[in-house]
Amino acid sequence: MHALNRDLDDHRFVLFDQLAVHEALAVDRDTLDAVLAEAASLTASVLEPINRAADREGVQFSAEDGVRVPQVLKAAWEAIAAGGWIGLTVSEQHGGMGLPAALNAAVQELFFSGSAAFMMYPGLTATVAHLLADEGPADVGPLTVQRLLTGVWAGTMCLTEADAGSDVGANRTLATPTDVPGVYTLVGEKIFISGGDHDLTENIVHVLLARTPDAPPGTRGLSLFLAPKFWFDENGALSERNGAFVTNIEHKMGIHASATCTLRFGDRQPCRAWRIGAEGEGMTLMFRMMNEARLGTALQGVALGAAAFRAALSYARERRQGSAWDKLRDANAPRVPILAHPDVRRMLLDQQSKIAALRSLCLRLGLYADRAHRGDVEAGADLELLTPIAKAWGTDVGFEVACEALQVHGGYGYLVDYPVEQYVRDAKIASIYEGTNGIQAMDLIGRKLKMEGGAVFMRWLERGRTQCDEAADAGLPREAAAIRQALDAVGAAAMSLAERGMTGATAVALVHAVPFLRSMAITVLALESLDQAKVALRLRDQTPERPACVDKPLNLRHYVAHVLPEAIALSRVVRAGEDAALDPALFADVAR
C-alpha cells in the first residue's frame, strides 16, 4: 500500500467528515471523492517518480535555444493537461470543470507533494486562466483561457523588478499606447519569474505590471498587461516572435526543475501587450492572482512537509538501531526499529500534528473561497483575515517539518540517496516568494486586523471561544481550556498593537508583527486540531480503527502540550514591546 493512502484518508476526513464540503456546497460527494482518488493515483504513478530525476537534471538555458526543462516533465505536463487538472475550478462556461476550491486545495497538496518544482508550471497557468476568464480582454481573453486550460499554452505572473524587489510600487516597466486600442508596447525587466520560459508548450503568456507614461507614482500608477511569447491571431494561430526574451535563469538552492527567469521586454525587438482591465487597476487585479497564489504557496508548504513526514515515518519503521529504551543496559537485546525510540516518536507526532492542522486550515480556506464566490460576505472576510496566516505559517512550518523529518533519518537524511534533503531544499523558497513571510505579518497587523474596524478579527476570536465551549462539552475540557487561554492571549496582543498604532509607535508594532502572526497562527492551528479531535471522537464508535479516529485526539494532546504554549509566550513578547532592534546605535558600523 502506498504511503500516500494515509494522506488520502486524511483528506477525505477533512473534506467530508469535518467540513462536510459536499453538504455545504450541495455537490455530489462521490464525484468529489473520485476526483480526489484520481489525483492521488496520478501523484503516485506520474509525479513522485519524476521528482528526483528532474531535480538532478535541472533546467538548461542558452541564448540560441532558450530554456529547456528536464525531459521527464513533458509526460507529466501531458498527463496534467489531458486530465483537465489545470481547469479544475474554472467554470464550465469557460471550459473548466467548475469543481470546488476546497477540493482543489486537496488536489494541489497531493500534486505538490509529488513534485513541487513541476507543479509551478500548471499552478501558475491555472492562476492566469482564472484571472483572464473574468477580466481578460474581450478579443483575446476567451481564446487564451481555452489554450491555457488545455495545456497548449502556459502562463506566468511577472511582478518583481531588480531595483524594486518587494516594493512593487517602485516598478519601472513602461507601457506605451499604440495606435491599436488596448495594445501597448512594453520596455523593462522582470526578475525571478517562475516558468518565464520553457519548452513544455508552444506559447507562454505573461501577465505583468507596468506603468503608462502619465501614470502617478507608486502602486496607483500600475496597470496590468498580457504579453505573449508569440503573437497570435483571433483563431489562436501563432505568428511572429514577440519581444519578451529570457536573458538568464537563476541557479537555486531548490526547485531545480522550475525555470526561474530574468525577462527583458522590448530590448531585442518590440514587445506588444494587451491591457487587462482599466489603466491604474493593475494592483487590484494582480492581488486577485497573488491571493490565489498565496494559498497555493501555503499548500506547497503543507505538501512538502507531508511528503517529508511520510518519508520519515517509513524510514523509522524500517531502520533498526539500538535496543528498546527499557533494555538499554542489555548488550544482547535485539535491535529495534527507531520508531520504538521515544524521541523519534515525539518528532514524528510533532510533524503529524502540525501537518494535519495545516491541511485542515488550507482546505477550510478553500471552502471559504467557495462560499465567498457564492456571495457569502462573512466567509470572504474570514478568507482575507486568515490568508496571511496560511501563507506564512504554512510555509514556515512546512519547512520546519521537513527539517525535522531529515533529523529522523539521522546522517542518512543529509545524503542525496534519501528524498528528504530535496524536500528541505524545495520547501524553503515558499516562505520567500508571493510576499515574504515578514510582509505577510505586516499585512496581518496593518490591514487584516483592521478590517471592518476590527470586527472580523473579533468575530474570529468569539467563534474560537464558542468552539472551545462546544469541545469542552464534547469531552475535551482540558484542551479546550488551554486553547481558550491562548485565544485570550492573542486578543491581548492585538490590543497592544492597536494601542501602539494609535500612539504613533508604528515601528515598534512592526518589530512585533512576526511574533504576533506566529502567536495567532499557532492558535489558529490549535482550533483546527480541536475541531478534528471532536469530529474523530464522534466517529470513533463507527470506525474505531480508522487512522484519523485514532490520530486526531492524540494530535490534539501533543499539540496543546508541546506547541500551544509558544502562542502565549509570543503574546507576552508582543505586549512587552521591546524595541532594541530600533536603537540607532545598532549596526551603525554598516552605515559607515
Active-site residue set: 434
Distance CA(356)–CA(369), nearest Å, equals 20
Distance CA(47)–CA(63), nearest Å, equals 30
Residue 440, helix vs strand vs coil: helix
Distance CA(590)–CA(569), nearest Å, equals 32
Question: Which helix (DSSP H) or strand (DSSP E) does residue 445 occupy?
Answer: helix 437-446
Q: Name, in order, each residue with C-beta under 8 angstroms of 74's C-beta and a sequence gap of 6 or more.
A: 200
Q: Is 282:223 a contact under the CB 8 Å cutoff?
A: yes
DSSP per-residue string spanning 522-553: HHHHHHHHHHHHHHHHHHTTT-TT-HHHHHHH
Q: In 315-388, at which residue ranges do the beta strands (DSSP E only) sit? A: none
| Longest alpha-carbon distance in the chain | 87
β pairing state of 244-249 and 60-62: unpaired
With b for 16 or more beta-carbon neighbours within 10 A and e for fewer, the 13-48 pattern comes to bbbbbbbebbeebebeeeebbebbeebbebbbebbb
The count of C-alpha atoms lying within 13 angstroms of the C-alpha of 535, restricted to the half-sphere facing its C-beta, is 23
Report the amino acid identity of residue 34.
A
For cell 508541546, the residue is 562
Distance CA(191)–CA(586), nearest Å, equals 32
Residue 263: which of 250, 280, 282, 281 has the closest Cα?
250
Distance CA(260)–CA(279), nearest Å, equals 28
β pairing state of 66-68 and 60-62: antiparallel
Residue 518: which of 415, 445, 588, 423 has the closest Cα?
445
Q: Using CA atoms in the order 2, 409, 306, 112, what is the torsion angle rounded to 10 degrees? A: -80
For cell 529547456, the residue is 68
Question: Which helix (DSSP H) or strand (DSSP E) does residue 183 occupy?
Answer: strand 183-194
Residue 517: which of 432, 442, 430 has the closest Cα?
442
Cell numbers for 200: 513544455
Distance CA(174)–CA(144), nearest Å, equals 24
Distance CA(559)–CA(349), nearest Å, equals 9
Q: Is 47:76 a contact under the CB 8 Å cutoff?
A: yes
Report the amino acid identity of residue 473.
D
Q: Is 122:156 a contact under the CB 8 Å cutoff?
A: no
Distance CA(202)–CA(258), nearest Å, equals 17
Is the torsion defined by CA of 225, 229, 231, 237 positive or negative?
A: negative
